Amino acid sequence: MTDRPSVLILEDEPLIAFALEDMLLELGSKDVRLATTIAEALRLLDTHTPDFAVLDVNIRGERSYGVADELSRRGVPFIFATGYGDAEHPEVLKTVPTLSKPYGPDDLKSAFAAATGAVDKCDTS
């Protein structure tokens, strides 16, 4: 994860966000930015494009797919994290790796690998 030092977290539950932030820092991220609302996440994206993102799906009753679309557009790899066990993503986001809460560092690492590996593969092809 060191090759992707800047990470965006979209998570409306600060306690969970902190844990994720810690995990990311432990895994080598240098710059972790937290947004607890979708508006905030988009605001952050206005000034900075991260290298990676972890998006909670349900943000205060809203879906974070708008942010996911923006990330896809910019070619930023990302993963979803959700408390809903069987969340159904829209067709274009079906292949996005999804972490099911609660998750540990290993879950995060493999999801990260899945997300970035896929993108890397595309880049090198």
Integer Cα distance of 95 and 90 in angstroms: 10
User: Is 99 within 8 Å of 85 (Cβ atoms)?
Assistant: no
Q: How far is residue 47 from each of residues 32, 42, 107, 112, 121, measured CA to CA in Å?
A: 14, 9, 30, 23, 27
Q: How far is the CB of 38 from other proteins (least distance, A)?
A: 12
Closer of 13 and 118 to other proteins (Cβ)? 13
Closer of 102 and 117 to other proteins (Cβ)? 102
Q: How far is the CB of 60 from other proteins (least distance, A)?
A: 7
Closer of 66 and 105 to other proteins (Cβ)? 105
Closer of 28 and 102 to other proteins (Cβ)? 102
Residue ranges that bind other proteins, judged by CB under 8 A: 12-19, 22, 34, 36-37, 58, 60, 83-85, 100-104
């977290």: which residue's tokens? 9
Q: How far apart are the first and last CA of the chain?
A: 21
Q: How far is the CB of 22 from other proteins (least distance, A)?
A: 6
